[in-house]
Amino acid sequence: MADARLTVAEVMPALEKVAGKRFGEFMSPARMAVLKSGGNINKGMVGQVLEQVLGIGNSSRTLDLIDGELKTHKSTPTGIPMETVAVTMVSTIIDDLFDHRPFPETRVYKKLNRTIFVPAYRDRSAAPEDWMFLRPVFVDLDDPSWAVIQEQLHMNYDTICRHTKSCFSSGDRMLHGTPAPGHILQIRTKDSAPYSPIYSARAGRCVSDKNYAFYLTKTFVDQIHHVSGFKRGVV
Mean pLDDT, residues 162-182 taken together: 80
In the Cβ-directed half-sphere of 53, how many Cα atoms lie within 13 Å?
Answer: 29
**pLDDT at residue 41 in the model:** 56
Average pLDDT over all residues of the chain:
88
**pLDDT at residue 146 in the model:** 98
Mean pLDDT, residues 26-31 taken together: 84
Give 64-107 pLDDT, tens digit per residue.
899 999 999 999 999 999 999 999 999 989 999 999 999 999 99
For the ranges 3-7, 22-26, 180-184, 219-223, which has the lowest average pLDDT? 3-7
**pLDDT at residue 53 in the model:** 78
**pLDDT at residue 67 in the model:** 92
pTM over 0.75: yes
Distance CA 232, CA 235 (A): 8
Q: Which domains does the chain have, with CATH numbers?
A: 8-228 (3.40.600.10)
Contact between 51 and 15 under an 8 Å Cβ cutoff? The reply is no
Indicate whether 1 pLDDT > 50: no
More confident residue, 49 or 206: 206
Mean pLDDT, residues 134-147 taken together: 97
Give 144-154 pLDDT, tens digit per residue.
999 999 999 99
More confident residue, 37 or 115: 115
**pLDDT at residue 2 in the model:** 44
**pLDDT at residue 3 in the model:** 46
Judge residue 219's burial from the number of C-beta atoms within 10 Å of its C-beta, 0-12 exposed, 13-18 middle, 19 or more buried: middle
Contact between 214 and 189 under an 8 Å Cβ cutoff? The reply is no
Contact between 167 and 151 under an 8 Å Cβ cutoff? The reply is no
For the ranges 23-27, 135-139, 145-149, which has the lowest average pLDDT? 23-27
Mean pLDDT, residues 108-136 taken together: 93
